[in-house]
Amino acid sequence: MLIVGAGVGGISAARGLLRDGHDVTVFERASAVRASGGAVTIWPNGAKVLSQLGVDMAGAGQVLSLVHVSTATGRRVAAIDVTALNAELGAPTRMVPRRVLLERLMDDLPLGRIRCDARAVAVTNTPDGVRVDFADGTSAEGDLLIGADGRHSMVRAAFNTQDAVPTGWCSWQGLVELPDLADSDVAVIIIDKGGNLGLSPAGNGSLQWWFDLPWSPGFVRPDSPIDTIRSHFTGWSQPVDRVLAALTNDDLSMSPFPHFRHPIPREWGQGRFTLLGDAAHTMPPTLAQGTNQALLDTMVLRRALASPRTVPEALRWYGKTRRRKVAAVSWVTSRQISHGESAMKPAGLLPPGFVTRVLTSFLRAVSHSRMSAEATGKLWPIDTR
């Protein structure tokens, strides 16, 4: 089996399919497997898949107990009781640095299974398999190919011309060492006019920060991005001012990350190739679900390939099974609620616990709960440290 792309999606699929006894090779265009950016939230739906993959997450990042959402004037919008959500869904919610997540996923993975400096440029169904061609003139053949090559997927482009569309927003994002602020299990989101922000402990004294601002394809990078960020967000809260004082333009050098959303394709592949992760469903980071959805793709794909179906049938079943759930998540992430203070105001009037219950039900509904429980085997299998 061939996998194009060694991000979280490609590596998780490789890990799962190797566990199932398949012969798997991953092709990565970069010269090494590396994670960029800050941290990601792994919700219980993603945590369960990591457990199914045998990934030891004990001590990784920070387990969260609460997400507090307010306006810049300190008015409460919502308090998400993450401990209650975790208990309902049977696994912890963690903020994990991307680097740590990738290291844990790579643990035990035979290094020879990943070929770096391999930029895929074409994919073709052959009479009895699939072939991928690389920029250096070499090629590889297998019985199926998984395009886990991210937002600008070459594999997707081979059969689908609908590219990802910018949502009009971007995140300036990263990690900062501020042990006194990071020594907590509470994440904070502040939503107000013209932008919003988040601070979340990410383990070992580091704090994940993000600042969302409007963005368009004509974006011109300011000479001093930190001044732009400070001019928008100074005074929103004391911890925010501490973070803004600690950050420099160097901390912003990888940012911004524009938000994109793919139209979810009806078909996830053609013949013996398919898509997984952002290649199939890039979505804005609003619900912090992108990585979690890539992990769910892996779970469903493993199930499809373990069935007696032929490869093309199994891949069709996989795409069909995932499409509706992913479309629901993607749709919610692109609503204006995440960036509109006025749209969020009514949430403050809801009874305590309501938002937690809605989010819990939503995550359960979009996560193939029965399949996940069967694959995980037990109700509380997961290390919550």
Chain residues in the site for ligand FAD (CB under 6 A): 4-10, 27-30, 40-41, 118-120, 148-150, 154, 171, 173, 257, 277-279, 285, 288-292, 294
Shortest distance, position 27 Cβ to ligand FAD, whole Å: 5
Shortest distance, position 240 Cβ to ligand FAD, whole Å: 18
Shortest distance, position 149 Cβ to ligand FAD, whole Å: 4
Rounded to whole angstroms, the Cα distance separating 1 from 355 reads: 42
49 or 355, CB closer to ligand FAD?
A: 49
Shortest distance, position 200 Cβ to ligand FAD, whole Å: 9
28 or 341, CB closer to ligand FAD?
A: 28
From the list 264, 33, 305, the residue with the least C-alpha distance to 162 is: 264
From the list 149, 170, 169, 369, the residue with the least C-alpha distance to 280 is: 149
Which run of H or E residues covers position 79?
strand 76-81
Shortest distance, position 285 Cβ to ligand FAD, whole Å: 4
35 or 246, CB closer to ligand FAD?
A: 35
* Centroid of chain to Cα 338: 17
Shortest distance, position 205 Cβ to ligand FAD, whole Å: 19
Shortest distance, position 308 Cβ to ligand FAD, whole Å: 28
The two three-digit tokens of residue 329, written as one number: 């998540």
The two three-digit tokens of residue 83, written as one number: 């401990």
68 or 309, CB closer to ligand FAD?
A: 68
Grouping H, G, I as helix, E, B as strand and the rest as coil, residue 199 is: strand
What long-range pairs does 163-168 form, CB within 8 A, spacing at least 24?
Answer: 163/262, 164/260, 164/261, 164/262, 164/282, 165/260, 165/261, 165/262, 165/263, 166/215, 166/216, 166/217, 166/258, 166/259, 166/260, 167/259, 167/260, 167/261, 167/284, 167/334, 168/214, 168/215, 168/216, 168/259
Shortest distance, position 189 Cβ to ligand FAD, whole Å: 12
79 or 116, CB closer to ligand FAD?
A: 116
Q: What share of the chain is helix, strand, coil (3-state, %, to 5)?
A: 40, 25, 35
Contact by Cβ (8 Å): 188, 95: no
72 or 288, CB closer to ligand FAD?
A: 288
For residue 133, what are the β-bridge partners?
122, 139
Contact by Cβ (8 Å): 264, 280: yes
107 or 136, CB closer to ligand FAD?
A: 136
Contact by Cβ (8 Å): 297, 282: no
12 or 376, CB closer to ligand FAD?
A: 12
